[in-house]
A and B are shown apart, each in its own frame.
Chain A
Amino acid sequence: MPDFLLLMKSELMITLIIFILLIIKLGKGLRNEQILTLIQVLLLVNTAIAAIITEPGKLFGEMFQSNSLICLQKTFISLALYLVSLAFSGWFRKTEHLTEFFVLMLSSVLGMYFLLSAGNLLMLFLSLELSTLPVAALANFELEKKKSAEAAMKMILSSAFSTGIMLFGISLFYGATGTLEFVQLAGAVHINNLQLMALVFLISAFAFKLSVVPFHLWTADVYQGSPTPVTAFLSVISKATMAFVLAALLFKVLAVFEPAWHWLLVWLSLATMLIGNLFAIRQTNIKRFLAFSSIAQVGFILAGMTGTAVSGTASVSFFILVYIFSNLAAFVVAGILSDQFQVEDLEGFRGLRKKNPFLAWMMALAVFSLAGIPPAAGFFGKIFLLGSGAYSGHVWFILLAALNMVVSLYYYLKIIRLMFMEESAADPVIYSVSRSEKFTLVICASGIVFTGVFSWIYDYIYRISS
Chain B
Amino acid sequence: MTALWLLPAIPVIISAAILLLPERMTKAVSLVGATVQFLAIILLTLCFLSERSDGDQSVFLFQQRIEWFSSWKIGLHFGVDGISIAMILLTAAVVTAGILVSWNLKQQQKEFFILLQLLAAGAYGFFISLDIFTMFCFLEIAVIPKYMLIGIWGSGKKTYSANKLALMLMSGSALILVGILFMYYQLPVESRSFDFITMAAHPLPLNIQLVIFPFIFIGFGIFTAIFPFHTWVPDGHSSAPTAGSMFLAGISMKLGGFGCLRVATTLMPEAAQYYSIPIVVIAAIAILYGAFATMMQTDLKYINAYSSISHCGFVLLGIGFLNHSGINGAVFQMVSHGLMTALFFAVIGMIYERTHTRKVSEMSGLMKSVPFISAIMFIAGLCSLGLPGLSGFPAEMTVFMGGWARSETVYRVVTIAACMSIVITAVYILRAIGTVMMGPIKNNSFAVLDKAAWNEKWAALILVTGILIMGILPYLLYSLVNPATGEIIKKLSKG
Contacts and interface: CB of A to CB of B under 8 A. Distances in A.
Interface string A429-466: 00000000000000000000000000100110011000
Interface residues of B, number: 36
Interface string A397-415: 0110011011001100100
Interface string A86-109: 000000000000000000000000
Interface stretch (A6-14, A176-184, A320-328, A381-389): A381-389
A31 B71 CA distance: 50
Interface residues of A, number: 34
A30 B116 CA distance: 53
Interface of B: 67-72, 74, 133, 137-138, 140-141, 143-144, 147-148, 151-152, 158-159, 162-163, 166-167, 170-171, 174-175, 177-178, 181-182, 184-185, 211, 215
Given A395-B211, A417-B159, A421-B159, 17 more contacts: A314-B71, A368-B144, A373-B140, A374-B137, A386-B181, A390-B182, A393-B185, A395-B178, A398-B178, A409-B170, A416-B151, A417-B163, A421-B158, A455-B74, A458-B69, A459-B70, A459-B71
Contact of A386 (B71, B147, B177, B211): B177
Given A387-B72, A391-B185, A417-B159, A406 B178 contact: no
B178 A402 contact: yes
Nearest to A392: B185
Contacts of B166: 409, 413
A413 B147 contact: yes
A459 B178 CA distance: 23
Given A406-B170, A459-B71, A373 B151 contact: no
Given A387-B184, A417-B163, A374 B148 contact: no
Contact of B182 (A314, A395, A403, A416): A395
A373 B178 contact: no
B70 A421 contact: no
Nearest to B142: A374
Q: Is the interface of B mostly helix, strand, loop or mixed?
A: helix
B472 to A, nearest CB: 40
**Closest 4 A-B residue pairs measured CB to CB?**
A402-B174, A462-B71, A390-B181, A421-B151
B71 A403 contact: no
Contact of B185 (A314, A390, A406): A390
B16 to A, nearest CB: 12
A420 B154 CA distance: 12
Contacts of B143: 373
A384 B152 contact: no
Given A402-B178, A420-B148, A421-B159, A374 B140 contact: yes
Counting chain A CB atoms within 10 Å of each CB, the highest count among B138, B162, B170 belongs to B170
Interface in A263-311: none
Contacts of A410: 163, 167
Contacts of B148: 416, 420
B177 A406 contact: no
A289 to B, nearest CB: 17
Contacts of A421: 151-152, 158-159, 162
Contact of A409 (B69, B72, B158, B167): B167
Contacts of B147: 413, 416
B171 A379 contact: no
A373 B144 contact: yes
Nearest to A384: B72
A405 B174 contact: yes
Contact of A420 (B67, B152, B215): B152
A390 B187 CA distance: 13
Contacts of B211: 395
B177 A379 contact: no
A417 B151 contact: yes
B184 A455 contact: no
B170 to A, nearest CB: 5
A459 B71 CA distance: 6
A176 B147 CA distance: 57
Contacts of B177: 383, 386, 398, 402
Nearest to B139: A374
A153 to B, nearest CB: 39
Contacts of A402: 174-175, 177-178
A383 B141 CA distance: 14
Nearest to B219: A402
Interface in A368-384: 368, 373-375, 379-380, 383-384
A419 B330 CA distance: 41
A406 B171 contact: yes
Contacts of B70: 455, 459
A373 B177 CA distance: 13
Contacts of B171: 403, 406
A387 B177 CA distance: 9
B163 A379 contact: no
A391 B189 CA distance: 11
Nearest to A310: B71
A459 B67 CA distance: 11
B141 A406 contact: no
Q: Of A368, A387, A405, which is in contact with the most chain B CB atoms at under 10 Å from its CB? A: A387
Contacts of A395: 178, 182, 211
Contact of B68 (A368, A374, A403, A455): A455
B69 A455 contact: yes
Given A374-B140, A421-B151, A462-B71, A413 B178 contact: no
Contacts of A413: 147, 163, 166-167
